[in-house]
Amino acid sequence: MKDIELKLEDTKILPHSEIKGYITVNYSGRYDGVVINTQIFGSNELVVYRSYNGKKISQNVSRLFISKDNMPDNKAEFTVSIEFEPKEIHEVKFRVSIIEQHKEIESVVLFAKYSV
């Protein structure tokens, strides 16, 4: 079992649709939380985080930190969307890292496709 796992409901992302992601932390040591970073290859556009664990995010953020205090059973759920119309297929990289005292302990990467 890996220290951190990341799953997306669907790895084919359409414009203006919400995608759900799921994080499970199996790390046995201490940690402060997890941070989710995304990158859309071939674009300057951003993935927008909409919610985590049922809590709406009111500001547009391109990086999301979820405190361990907000992760019951060391699990988190988040939703994201991408709001621009793609002219080509873009690869989207999701990277989730376990953070402890401002240091990255472990990370996992998952790729998705974004197109019309």
**Structural domain spans, the chain:** 4-114
Q: According to the model, what pLDDT value does residue 25 have?
A: 97
pLDDT of residue 59 exceeding 90, the answer is: no
Q: How far is Cα 36 from Cα 25, in angstroms, rounded to an integer?
A: 13
9-57: pLDDT as tens digits: 999 999 999 999 999 999 999 999 999 999 999 999 989 999 999 999 9
pLDDT of residue 60 exceeding 90, the answer is: no
Burial zone of 54 (CB within 10 Å; 0-12 exposed, 13-18 middle, 19+ buried): exposed
Give the pTM.
0.91
- State the average pLDDT for the chain: 94
Sheet holding 103-114, edge to edge: 12-13, 103-114, 90-100, 33-40, 63-67
Architecture of domain 4-114 in this structure: Sandwich (2.60)
pLDDT of residue 58 exceeding 90, the answer is: no
